[in-house]
């Protein structure tokens, strides 16, 4: 999205440019309504490299889906939370989850099947507050 040419024929195309790719939807999903640190996200996405996570977070921030808050401490601390745009995405991703669980149950880890459908919260993120400052 932010680095591409933006000539979309269809809104679906624009949406997938924002959250397509291997990681972006997953990152948004894992942050959820909570606040997540870099290492939290990385722990939830074991296969992502620091490099990729950094790139995707930057891209999500440029697209206005997440907010990055950096605390100048030692050791450094950076927190990510969703903007309103990002949060509005959560119910959609949630529906997509239900869809995948319905039609591809055999490819979904078992602990997701027994989860109450319709409730975000894929990883260890919790549904506490998210005082984002956008």
Partner DNA sequence: CGGAATCCTCGAGGATACTG
Partner DNA sequence: CAGTATCCTCGAGGATTCCG
Positions touching DNA (CB under 7 A) are 4, 21-23, 37-39, 47-52, 54, 56-58, 68, 70, 75-78, 80
- Rule CB under 8 A: is residue 108 a binding residue for a second copy? yes
Q: State how far the Cα of 61 lies from the Cα of 32, in Å rounded to an integer.
A: 15
Strands 35-37 and 77-82, by their bridges, are: antiparallel
The number of CA neighbours under 13 Å toward the Cβ of 13 is 7
Torsion over CA of 70, 41, 49 and 65, rounded to 10 degrees? Answer: -70
Q: Is position 122 an interface residue for a second copy (rule: CB under 8 A)?
A: yes
Closest distance between a second copy and the C-beta of residue 131, in Å? 21
Instruction: Report the interface residues with a second copy, using CB under 8 A.
Output: 1, 6, 8-16, 18, 20-22, 25-26, 29, 45-46, 64, 85, 88-89, 91-93, 95-104, 107-109, 112, 122-123
């Amino acid at each position: 999205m932010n680095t591409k040419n933006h000539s979309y024929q269809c809104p679906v195309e624009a949406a997938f440019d924002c959250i397509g790719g291997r990681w972006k939807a997953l990152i948004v999903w894992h942050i959820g309504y909570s606040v997540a640190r870099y290492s939290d996200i990385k722990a939830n996405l074991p296969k992502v490299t620091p490099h990729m996570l950094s790139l995707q977070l930057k891209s999500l921030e440029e697209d206005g889906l997440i907010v990055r808050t950096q605390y100048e401490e030692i050791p450094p601390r950076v927190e990510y939370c969703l903007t309103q745009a990002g949060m509005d995405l959560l119910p959609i991703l949630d529906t997509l989850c239900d869809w995948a669980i319905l039609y591809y149950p055999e490819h979904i880890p078992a602990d997701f099947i027994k989860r109450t459908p319709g409730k975000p919260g894929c990883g260890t993120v919790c549904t506490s507050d998210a005082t984002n400052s956008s």
